[in-house]
């Protein structure tokens, strides 16, 4: 039996989650990390309160030609067993596919890369600061592995960093930029911290 997606929510129309496209955004439930500035803490743990994936597919069918893209966000989409099948399904309907990820699971990321048209990757900090932010020991390794896969793929993307003055001071941002240069990446897009909703 094919795995489905577990969703914590959905935004039917967005102009800011996929560059240059009108997109629906589905928020996958669950994330293995626990960043203190997370603005979707209700998606980290707890019961899924979003629509069923089958109801989203039905809705997407009647929006064909009116919407350009579907973005899988979270939470963390790459930890969902049903992600690959869901990407196949929306591509078969003619939608562009976007992924927002923190790079928690590079193995899954590698398998879904051929099914993606655009990726927004959060790189949270220089490597030595990673665990302090994510609460997960060794979390820099999967994030950097995901970054390297993304850079090697040539896929259109945005690499971004949430800037919180307490958790990521200017010296850490400078260090991050140096680490990114070493792997051939430009400085990340800085997005200011937003309080949890
Ligand atoms: S990786 Fe993203 S969704 Fe997960 S806790 Fe951190 S900010 Fe929240």
In this prediction, residue 48 carries a pLDDT of: 81
Q: Does residue 3 surpass a pLDDT of 90?
A: no
Look at residue 170 and give its three-state secondary structure: helix
The domain that holds 172 is classified in CATH as 3.20.20.70
Answer whether residue 96 is part of any domain: yes
At 133-168, the pLDDT tens digits run 999 999 999 999 999 999 999 999 999 999 988 889
Asked, for residue 1, whether it belongs to a domain, the answer is no
If you take atom 3 of ligand 1, which residue's CA is the nearest one?
75
- Helical ranges in 93-153 per DSSP H: 106-112, 130-134, 140-153
197 located within any domain: no
Mean of the per-residue pLDDT values for the chain?
Answer: 93
Ligand 1 atom nearest the C-alpha of 75 is 3
In a domain? residue 2 = no
What average pLDDT does the segment 60-69 reach? 96
DSSP string over 115-131: G-SEEEEE--S-GGGHH
How much is the average pLDDT of 179-188? 91
pLDDT of res. 49: 87
Residue of 26, 27, 33 best suited for mutating to test ligand 1, as the one with most atoms within 8 Å of CB: 33
User: Into how many domains does the chain fold?
Assistant: 1
**What count of other Cβ atoms lies within 10 Å of the Cβ of residue 98?**
24
The answer, yes or no, to whether residue 197 has pLDDT greater than 80, is: no
Instruction: Please indicate, yes or no, if residue 51 is contained in any of the structural domains.
Output: yes
**Residue-level pLDDT at 196:** 58
Measure the CA–CA gap between 131 and 155, rounded to whole angstroms. 27
pLDDT given at position 165: 83
Cα 16 from chain centre: 14
Question: pTM higher than 0.85, yes or no?
Answer: yes
Domain ranges, residue 156: 7-192
* Ligand 1 centre distance from Cα of residue 43 (Å): 8
Q: Using a 6 Å CB cutoff, which residues line ligand 1? A: 31, 33-35, 38, 40, 44, 74-76, 102
What percentage of the chain carries pLDDT values higher than 70? Answer: 97
């Amino acid at each position: 039996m094919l795995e489905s997606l577990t969703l914590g929510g959905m935004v039917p129309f967005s102009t800011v989650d996929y560059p240059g496209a009108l997109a629906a955004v589905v928020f996958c439930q669950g994330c293995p990390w626990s960043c203190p500035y997370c603005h979707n803490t209700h998606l980290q743990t707890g019961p899924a309160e979003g629509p069923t994936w089958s109801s989203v597919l039905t809705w997407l069918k009647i929006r064909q030609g009116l919407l350009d893209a579907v973005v899988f966000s979270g939470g963390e989409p790459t930890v969902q067993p049903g992600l690959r099948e869901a990407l196949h399904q929306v591509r078969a309907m003619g939608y562009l596919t976007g992924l927002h990820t923190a790079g928690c699971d590079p193995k899954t990321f590698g398998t879904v890369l051929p099914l993606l048209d655009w990726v927004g990757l959060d790189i949270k900090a220089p490597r030595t600061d990673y665990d302090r932010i994510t609460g997960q020991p060794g979390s820099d390794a999967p994030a950097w592995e995901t970054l390297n896969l993304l850079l090697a793929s040539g896929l259109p993307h945005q690499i971004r960093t949430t800037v919180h003055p307490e958790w990521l001071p200017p010296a850490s941002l400078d260090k991050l930029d140096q680490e990114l240069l070493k792997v051939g990446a430009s400085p990340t897009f800085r997005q200011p911290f937003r309080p949890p909703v």
